[in-house]
Amino acid sequence: MRYADGPSVEVEVHVEASPSTVWALVSDVAVPARFSGELQEAFWIDETHFKGRNRHPAAGEWETTCTVVANEPGVAFAWVVGEPDAPAAEWGFSIEPDGSGVVLRQRARLGPGPSGLTAAIASMPDKEERIVERRLEEHRANMQATVEGIKGLAEGL
């Protein structure tokens, strides 16, 4: 698994709530910071851009600028990190009706633009696959905590 291939990860959870209830939570960029071990804060800059503040034990603290690329109420909310034409990553939520609730999915795709992994891979090219796999596993854990947290909020409303 190489960075240039756009590796991705996806998690899902069933939520006993309406699409509109779940949508209100996934489209609030501040909500994931309540559950992620890495994302510390997110806030809107304007109608289509927001900033995220992150912290990682190996990488320290940094801030990203994100651009919303999908905003379909009750269906999908997605954004890219960094330059929209060559993002460091693309993230998103999707909501699919399922019985009395919905299936909530969160996905992330790395690249194709440079990211925090770029320097690590350049300094240890023989370990690229391991670096990418480890990063995807970190994302998977944070994403699972996020969708489970959103489930808890939505079902508690």
- Tell me the pTM: 0.94
CATH code at 16? 3.30.530.20
Domain range for 46 = 3-156
Q: What is the mean pLDDT of residues 8-28?
A: 98
Whole-number pLDDT of residue 21: 97
Which three-class secondary structure state does DSSP give residue 6? coil
Residue 72 has pLDDT above 90, yes or no: yes
Cis peptide bond N-terminal to 112, omega within 30: yes
Q: Does the structure show a pLDDT above 80 at 97?
A: yes
pLDDT for residue 157: 73
- 113-125 pLDDT, tens digit each: 999 889 899 999 9
**Mean pLDDT, residues 126-142 taken together:** 96
Distance CA 59, CA 71 (A): 30
Rounded to whole angstroms, the Cα distance separating 17 from 121 reads 42
**Burial environment of residue 32 by CB neighbours within 10 A (0 to 12, 13 to 18, 19 or more):** buried
Share of the chain above pLDDT 90, in %: 94
Given pLDDT bands bounded at 50, 70 and 90, which one contains residue 59?
Answer: confident
Q: What's the chain's average pLDDT?
A: 96
3, burial (CB in 10 Å: exposed 0-12, middle 13-18, buried 19+): buried
Q: Domain count of the chain?
A: 1
- Alpha-carbon distance of 108 to 132, in angstroms, equals 13
**Residue 15 CB contacts under 8 Å (≥ 6 apart), including other chains:** 22, 101, 102, 103, 104, 150, 151, 154, 155
pLDDT of 95 reads 98
* C-alpha distances out from residue 143 to 38, 79, 83, 146, 155, Å: 10, 15, 22, 5, 18
